Amino acid sequence: MSSTASAQPAEKDAANLTIAVVGATGAVGIELLRSLEARGFGGASLRPLASARSAGQSLAFAGRMVTVEELTEDSFAGVDVALFSAGASISRHYREAVRAAGALMIDNSSAFRMDDDVPLVVPEVNGQVLANHGGVIANPNCVAAIMTVALAPLHRASPIRRLQAATYQSASGAGAAAMEELRLATRAALDGKAFEPKVLPHPYAFNLFSHNAAIEGEDGYNGEELKAMAETRRILSVPDLAIGITCVRVPVLRAHSIAMTVQFDRPMAAAEARALLAAAPGLRLVDDRAANHFPMPSEASGVDEVLVGRIRTDLGDPTGCSLALFVSGDQLLKGAALNAVQILEAIQSRAAG
């Protein structure tokens, strides 16, 4: 581990760790518990934290029940690692308490993602930046995480010069309440009943709309698009990568899909890209032209790997240097909880190695 780290969880075996999960009852929180259990942290001491409203709830973890405690400044005593997924303002508010407790913070919010001293990490893509951190590691925006897993193997073979993307984002990105709103609104529509949206700004049943993040600035991009662009550049270490992206919320429950066109500095044959992606970690190739079988949310949901397919030379680029591809990845897993736990794994294995 880096000498700059204030926290040293990696010096302990997983079974001796004390892990706090902030936002444990949320859509991502539930998946954090599942991913911790699935990836060898079931023996750790778990401290699920949430707002007072959720305190006292019991959650299943690794064959036992754990009780949700109210998040306070004192919650981190004895904690080695705190996984945060309760929004940027909570992360900012408790950063000092986590640091004071000597714990490592792995933060799923956008609070620190662009801070120079906070690594922004997708382990398969830029795990090496974990060598230096100041006690906080940022987990990327879901679109950036899912895109960069698919882009990195190609970018290593031939630098990416330009990226064009349109997203098909699921309800889960707006939390468990949005998933429930999609179900309720859809049932009402099928029954011919009125439904007033409460969580999302537009009707969601059999409908789609521009991502609900507010438009920021004069350029007309929304907050989700700005995050996806800035974080993709940072994770791939290409500060001047030209990216155009349109983020759209579609009536899907929990996996995000993205149509991408990637321009390289030389022509890259679809066959070469397919071989690179098939061999890369964190991806599963789903690219069966004869069966018309490509990545889709129903097959990406609950799956750790990001599905990638529809790999073909993009005919919109007369130079032949662009490829089109389509990915589907579970927003709650690679887009959030799984990636956070993989960061913890990588920290542990750096120390062990």
Residues at the contact surface with a copy of itself, assessed by CB under 8 A: 162-164, 166, 168, 182-183, 186-187, 190, 201-203, 206-210, 212, 214-215, 219-222, 229, 242-246, 248, 250-253, 257, 259, 261, 270, 289-290, 292, 294, 296-298, 310-318, 322, 324, 326
Q: Which is nearer to a copy of itself, 45 or 246 (CB)?
A: 246
With 0-12 CB in 10 A as exposed, 13-18 as middle and 19+ as buried, what is 12? middle
Q: Which is nearer to a copy of itself, 95 or 249 (CB)?
A: 249
Rounded Cα distance between 250 and 208, Å, is: 5
Q: How near is the Cβ of 185 to a copy of itself at its closest, in Å?
A: 11
Q: Which amino acid is at 106?
A: I
Q: Note if 256 is an active site residue.
A: yes
Catalytic residue among 142, 155, 211, 321: 142
CA-to-CA separations, 32 to 63, 184, 257, 333, 339, in angstroms, rounded: 15, 26, 21, 8, 9
Q: Which is nearer to a copy of itself, 119 or 309 (CB)?
A: 309
**Of 345, 352, 331, nearest to 19 (Cα)?**
345
Q: Which is nearer to a copy of itself, 18 or 172 (CB)?
A: 172
**Of 145, 125, 83, nearest to 340 (Cα)?**
83
What token pair was written down for 190? 């099928």
Catalytic residue among 155, 211, 256, 321: 256
Handedness of CA 108, 112, 116, 118 (dihedral sign): negative
Rounded Cα distance between 175 and 177, Å, is: 5
Q: How near is the Cβ of 219 to a copy of itself at its closest, in Å?
A: 6
Which residues are known to be catalytic?
142, 256
